[in-house]
Chain A
């Protein structure tokens, strides 16, 4: 039998069900592997004791014939999800030592289905970043390297700890969140699968808020089937979140093999951007051929508002962030820099507690919401967002899915783009529209570039139609036959 950590989530589930190995054995194998992966900096905290206890409970349940859908499956939890009794810091200094007295709904859903928590995963501070370089705990390193080159690459952001951990097989799957592309973009540059479901599909309760109208939780996994299994457990209505939608969660795994025959798949011409590497263009074309061969009808579509999606995002997201992050003031939790004057205490605490990128975004947000600029920037952005939404929905009236690249480039080096915020922001160019319109989107590993780095393709679907998204993703995955793995230089 192959190593336990080589099995997919589905493989583990089936093997545990047949009692070929125990949950405790699987958990120990992962804990050992995660413990040896220090150079990747993917985990900010490994929760050995909790993991072993949960695994033993799972073994007892399996023995009783009482297994739940994710019984004994070891997962990593992005440190943006509040976990009861386990420090949760969102990659920030300002949340030093914050130990939630409650559990996020998504992580609770996973534990209720039997999942085991291996630990908390590193991320960009407050999920703000596209490279995982803004974390107070230092950057996560992509397990992938360019061929013949030892330069450290980023695992994408902000769920870079999640993507690196799944790619390096430090956990069977991981939770992630996506505000402008933070699930799909790291999945793309690490050769993993990441789905951002429809806004409202997963509860946001207990997830540290960045931009409330855009944030949505989803899984990062090794393959499409695992994503389907994990999303089913994460999703569902939650009365504690007023933006959570009360509609049934389908069995995504059951539809995977229905294929794309007869589906109409749109290819938006505006996603052919200047300076895009030819390999990405070629892979996109290859994806079109794969879906055509699988029986889909390919339709050229036009989304002229696409170019405005990123500027809209960089008004809306910071505006919401400036409001959400106002709660970090040194009074209720975390870091406090003392001063006899309360305003000084606030200002010093927030200056010391927030990193450069977070401060930059709070200031942008405060500016666009301030009197005199509110209408010119914020209200205008909300109006352009409506136009983007309407255009997207109009196109999706005529096609079942959209096919685009996931990222404008393969993984880039640590420090390569940090000097220029806008060039960093451009990483989200293909993903951000789905957030503005609330649509489900998935990234599937589809090939390698000339330097042997993974590249992903993205499918975007209609609201609450994750089933069709998964069908398309499985067809792409089957055609791509992506089996490459990073060399294990870190252990």
Chain B
């Protein structure tokens, strides 16, 4: 077991996924077997190797600092909230967060 029950519960809490009581044990086993299998990466010598996050070697493209007119350009509040379960005046409505 490379991962224990408490760690699984902690990770599930961080990931905001409520695990039903009867799911904790199977999930612990599944994650353990996957992590044990991944463990083989420890045998690779990575000294001096740079971590690679993308295969694309380009600097981040920048656009002119003007309001775009296409779909990335803002000014479309109706569309932004169109699929939300609850909205009011172009805001997303959620349960009270601050007492």
A contact residues vs B (CB 8 Å cutoff): 97-99, 101-102, 199-200, 213, 239-240, 242-243, 245, 305, 307-308, 311-312, 314-315, 322, 326, 329-336, 339-348, 350-351, 354, 359-360, 362-367, 370, 376-377, 379-387, 389, 421-422, 436-438, 463
- The answer to whether B37 and A311 touch across the interface, beta carbons within 8 angstroms, is yes
Contact flag A348-B18 (CB < 8 Å), given A311-B40, A383-B52? yes
Task: Tell me whether A382 and B52 are in contact in the complex, defined as CB-CB below 8 angstroms, given that A99-B82, A387-B46 are known contacts.
Answer: yes
With A308-B40, A332-B84, A346-B16 in contact, is A364–B34 under 8 Å at CB?
yes
Cα-based distance from A474 to B46 in the complex (angstroms): 39
* Interface class of chain A by DSSP: helix
B15 within 8 A of A: yes
CB-based nearest B residue for A365? B15
Tell me whether B95 and A342 are in contact (CB under 8 A): yes
Can you identify 21 A-B contacts, CB atoms within 8 angstroms? Answer: A242-B60, A242-B61, A305-B44, A307-B40, A315-B38, A322-B15, A330-B85, A332-B83, A335-B85, A342-B95, A342-B96, A343-B16, A345-B95, A347-B16, A354-B17, A363-B27, A363-B31, A366-B15, A382-B53, A385-B52, A389-B55
In the complex, which of the residues B31, B33, B56, B97 contacts A367, with contact meaning CB atoms closer than 8 Å? B31
Partner of A331, one of B30, B53, B85: B85
B65 to chain A, nearest CB (A): 14
Q: Say yes or no: A240 contacts B70, CB within 8 Å.
A: yes
Minimum distance in angstroms from A121 CB to a CB of chain B: 21
Is A336 a contact partner of B56 (Cβ separation < 8 A)? no
CA distance A117 to B44 in the complex (A): 47
Which single member of B17, B54, B97 contacts A359 (CB below 8 Å)?
B17
Residues of B within 8 A of A240 (CB): 70-72
Establish whether residues A342 and B14, one from each chain, have CB atoms under 8 Å apart when the complex forms. Answer: no
Which of B82, B85, B94 touches A342 (beta carbons < 8 Å)?
B94
Residues in chain A near residue B30, CB distance under 8 A: 360, 421
A359 — which chain B residues lie within 8 A by C-beta? 17, 27
CB–CB B79/A101 < 8 A? yes
A465: min CB distance to chain B, Å = 14
Per CB-CB distance, the 4 closest pairs between chain A and chain B, nearest first, are A438-B55, A382-B51, A333-B83, A386-B52
Q: Complex Cα distance A476/B35, Å?
A: 39
- Give the nearest-CB partner of A371 in chain B: B14
In the complex, A352→B13 CA distance in Å? 15
A363 CA / B14 CA spacing, docked (Å): 9
Q: How far is the CB of B75 from chain A (nearest CB, A)?
A: 13
Partner of A336, one of B33, B61, B85: B85
Whether the pair A99, B83 counts as a contact (CB closer than 8 A) is yes
Number of interface residues of B (CB under 8 A): 53
Contact of A384 among B13, B46, B76, B85 (CB under 8 A): B46
Does B66 have its Cβ within 8 Å of any Cβ on chain A?
Answer: no
Point out the residue from B11, B52, B79, B83 that lies within 8 Å of A97, measured CB to CB. B83
Specify the chain B residue showing the minimal Cβ separation from A105.
B71
Cα of A339 to Cα of B44 in the assembled complex, Å: 47
Q: CB-CB < 8 A to A366: which residues of B?
A: 11, 14-15
Contacts of A367 in B (CB 8 A): 3, 7, 11, 31, 35
Complex contact A98–B41 (CB within 8 A): no
Cα of A199 to Cα of B14 in the assembled complex, Å:
31
In the bound assembly, the distance between CA atoms of A155 and B59 in angstroms comes to 39
Q: A342-B97, A380-B46, A421-B30 are in contact. Are A213 and B16 (CB under 8 A)?
A: no
Specify which chain A residues have a CB less than 8 angstroms from the CB of B46 in the assembled complex. Answer: 380, 383-384, 387
Give the residues in chain A near B12, CB-CB below 8 Å. Answer: 363
**Interface pair B95/A341, CB less than 8 Å apart:** yes
Q: Does B5 contact A (CB under 8 A)?
A: no
Docked-complex contact A379 and B14, CB < 8 angstroms: no
Q: Chain B residues near A347 (CB, 8 Å)?
A: 13, 16-18
Instruction: Give the nearest-CB partner of B42 in chain A.
Output: A380
Kindly report which residue of chain B lies nearest to residue A393, judged by CB atoms: B55
* Residue of B27, B37, B52, B53 with most chain A CB atoms under a 10 A cut-off: B52
Q: Which of B44, B70, B96 contacts A308 (CB 8 A)?
A: B44
Can you name the residue of chain A whose Cβ is closest to the Cβ of B12? A363
Chain B residues with CB under 8 Å of A346's CB are 16
- Contact yes or no, A334 B83, CB < 8 A: yes
Complex CA gap A330/B94 in Å reads 9
A340 and B20: CB pair below 8 A? no
Are B16 and A350 in touch, CB under 8 angstroms? Answer: yes
Are A102 and B52 neighbours in the complex by a CB distance under 8 Å?
Answer: no
B50 near A386: Cβ-Cβ < 8 Å: yes
CB of A239 within 8 A of CB of B84, answer: no
Contact with A along B60-94 (1 / 0, CB 8 A): 11010000001110001001001111100000101
